[in-house]
């Protein structure tokens, strides 16, 4: 094969035209998704838009390389470049979050959490985390998850009156069950967590204190949310969501736990890392260290509070009464509509949310009482408080008349037109 047959430079700058030529069906589906992300208001709290730089790194030739092991200690040759990529990602994450040790190899958030359990637990050990119906994550001990099947998982719930974390209840359960690990973190809790209180509880019962900050890591990076790093033994996070990076995860820990964590990730749980994702993480960490990202993080919170304000005025029941982070959890019981019905109607209107259980929900998870909304993706498009007020009015109109298809079609058209003034990062409009 000569140079004319295989031009490396051409391969490196390959565009979507190659997908179009090779697989028109997949190409068309990708373009449809691109249009959906461009023309709809995306309020899924776990979603965002990555920059063009992150997108390009994710789709780079680094996906071609296999790299079991760690920099300087690989089981495959040809790691001269990959070792530098991973070392750079680790260095940037350590600096961004002030971590003593970082592992950037977990494929996603769930494997990252499982790696922590593998490092410190044996089957049947006790863990204590937030109950899934109260805003916790599957991997915090939900019965349907491996974390609830392999370990004796105990759960803490929120205060019925306030919807806030009940630290006294956590202390009492910790004293009763003596967990090996206490987990703070959530997927649907709209307030700031008191990490210092968790630390005191963990110390009293001799537990390791773990924080899953997947949802609010970007706010921590941008200085808009307190960091758990000074208090936690181990911190896990995805690198997408509010951090605005690729679909991956990292584990941060105190130096004394570094060897246990690294062995749990590899060879304990997975093989070679996804080097293209590692590179995209490094890009995202560099972006997150800028003053512009700090402004972005603060705007996420401002937008969340603005949306809470307009919805509260329209008599929406907000769990905890508002938000200190990127998300709102809304109980629709008083609107006489289920979360699933509302989410389906909103999607037809061009406003994408997810239906979600609320604390002490009497409905089943497949059709719960609430919806969850998040402001990170819209903030990436440049939405500010004024735009959030308009979004709130559209939500109110759809929830009030979920079967009024004419109204929904009109709002969908208005949403698409509105979105054209806010081009999303990384998407060629």
CATH number, domain with residue 214: 3.40.640.10
Percent of the chain residues topping a pLDDT of 90: 95
> Residues 331, 245: one domain?
no
Pairing of strands 152-156, 126-130: parallel
> Residues 271, 328: one domain?
no
> Residues 76, 192: one domain?
yes
Backbone angles phi, psi at 351, to 5 degrees: -120, 110
> Residues 282, 305: one domain?
no
The DSSP element (H or E) to which 68 belongs, if any, is: none
DSSP character at residue 31: H
What digits encode the pLDDT tens for the residues 286-298? 999 999 999 999 9
Question: What's the structural domain count of the chain?
Answer: 2
Measured between alpha carbons, how far is 405 from 132 in angstroms, rounded to an integer? 34
Beta strands in 220-365 (DSSP E): 234-238, 249-253, 317-318, 327-331, 351-352, 354-356
Q: Is 136 annotated as a binding residue?
A: yes
Residue 138, in any domain of the structure: yes
Residue 320, in any domain of the structure: yes
CB-neighbour burial class of residue 257 (10 A; exposed 0-12, middle 13-18, buried 19+): buried
CATH number, domain with residue 328: 3.90.1150.10
> Residues 304, 181: one domain?
no
DSSP string covering 243-282:
G---S-EEEEE-GGGHHHHHHIIIIII-SS--HHHHHHHH
> Residues 153, 189: one domain?
yes
Choosing from 288, 311, 333, the residue where a domain stops is 288
> Residues 135, 109: one domain?
yes
Question: Which residues of the chain have a pLDDT value below 50?
Answer: 1-14
Residue 328, in any domain of the structure: yes
Residue 41, in any domain of the structure: no
Query: What is residue 428's predicted lDDT score, i.e. its pLDDT?
Result: 72
Residue 54, in any domain of the structure: no
Q: Is 243 annotated as a binding residue?
A: no
> Residues 193, 340: one domain?
no
| Alpha-carbon Rg for the chain in angstroms | 22
| Residues recognised as catalytic | 66, 68, 212, 238, 241, 247
Query: What is residue 12's predicted lDDT score, i.e. its pLDDT?
Result: 38
> Residues 269, 372: one domain?
no
> Residues 415, 317: one domain?
yes
Residue 399, in any domain of the structure: yes
Residue 279, in any domain of the structure: yes
Pairing of strands 152-156, 181-185: unpaired
Choosing from 288, 310, 334, the residue where a domain stops is 288
Q: Quote the domain boundaries for residue 105.
A: 61-288
The DSSP element (H or E) to which 61 belongs, if any, is: none
364-369, long-range: CB < 8 A, 24+ apart: 365/133, 366/340, 367/338, 367/339, 367/340, 367/341, 368/338, 368/339, 368/340, 369/331, 369/332, 369/333, 369/338, 369/339
Choosing from 258, 288, 318, the residue where a domain stops is 288
Q: Is 138 annotated as a binding residue?
A: yes
Sign of the CA dihedral 148, 154, 156, 160? positive
Query: What is residue 429's predicted lDDT score, i.e. its pLDDT?
Result: 59
Q: Which residue has the tokens 């089957």?
A: 123
Grouping H, G, I as helix, E, B as strand and the rest as coil, residue 64 is helix
Say if residues 356 and 274 touch (Cβ distance below 8 Å). no
Neighbours of 102 (CB within 10 A): 23
What digits encode the pLDDT tens for the residues 192-204? 999 999 999 999 9
What digits encode the pLDDT tens for the residues 152-172? 999 999 999 999 999 999 999
> Residues 251, 312: one domain?
no
Query: What is residue 427's predicted lDDT score, i.e. its pLDDT?
Result: 86
Residue 165, in any domain of the structure: yes
Q: Which residue has the tokens 């977990």?
A: 106
Q: How far is CA 17 from CA 13, 30, 34, 35, 213, in A?
A: 11, 12, 15, 17, 38
> Residues 243, 308: one domain?
no
């Amino acid at each position: 094969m000569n140079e004319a047959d295989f031009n490396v430079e051409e391969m490196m700058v390959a565009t979507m035209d190659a997908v179009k030529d090779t697989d028109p069906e997949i190409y068309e589906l990708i373009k449809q998704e691109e249009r959906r992300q461009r023309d709809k208001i995306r309020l899924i709290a776990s979603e965002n838009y990555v920059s063009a730089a992150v997108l390009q790194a994710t789709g780079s030739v680094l996906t071609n390389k296999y790299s079991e092991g760690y920099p300087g200690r690989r089981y495959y040759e040809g790691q001269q470049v990959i070792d530098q990529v991973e070392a750079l990602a680790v260095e940037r994450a350590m600096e961004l979050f002030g971590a003593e040790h970082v592992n950037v190899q977990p494929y996603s958030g769930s494997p990252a959490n499982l790696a922590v359990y593998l490092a410190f637990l044996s089957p049947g050990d006790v863990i204590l985390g937030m109950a899934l119906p109260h805003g916790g994550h599957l991997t915090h001990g939900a019965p349907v998850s491996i974390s609830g099947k392999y370990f004796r998982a105990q759960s803490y719930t929120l205060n019925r009156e306030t919807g806030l974390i009940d630290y006294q209840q956590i202390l009492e359960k910790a004293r009763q069950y003596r967990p090996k690990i206490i987990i703070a973190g959530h997927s649907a809790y709209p307030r700031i967590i008191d990490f210092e209180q968790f630390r005191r509880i963990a110390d009293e019962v001799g537990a390791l204190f773990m924080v899953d900050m997947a949802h609010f890591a970007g706010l921590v990076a941008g200085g808009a949310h307190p960091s758990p790093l000074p208090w936690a033994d181990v911190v896990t996070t995805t690198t997408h969501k509010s951090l605005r990076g690729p679909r991956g995860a990292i584990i941060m820990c105190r130096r004394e736990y570094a060897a246990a964590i690294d062995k749990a990730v590899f060879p304990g749980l997975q093989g070679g890392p996804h080097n293209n994702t590692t590179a995209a993480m490094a890009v995202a960490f560099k972006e997150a260290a800028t003053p512009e990202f700090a402004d972005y993080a603060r705007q996420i919170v401002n937008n969340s509070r603005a949306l809470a304000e307009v919805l509260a005025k329209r008599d929406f029941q907000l769990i905890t009464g508002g938000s200190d982070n990127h998300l709102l959890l809304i109980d629709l019981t008083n609107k006489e509509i289920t979360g699933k019905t509302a989410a389906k109607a909103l999607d037809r209107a061009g406003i994408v949310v997810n239906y979600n259980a609320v604390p002490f929900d009497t409905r089943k998870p497949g059709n719960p009482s609430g919806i969850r909304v998040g402001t990170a993706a819209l903030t990436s498009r440049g939405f500010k408080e004024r735009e959030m007020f308009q979004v709130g009015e559209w939500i109110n109109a759809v929830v009030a008349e979920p079967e009024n298809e004419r109204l929904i079609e009109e709002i969908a058209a208005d949403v698409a037109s509105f979105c054209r003034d806010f081009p999303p990062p990384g998407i060629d409009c």
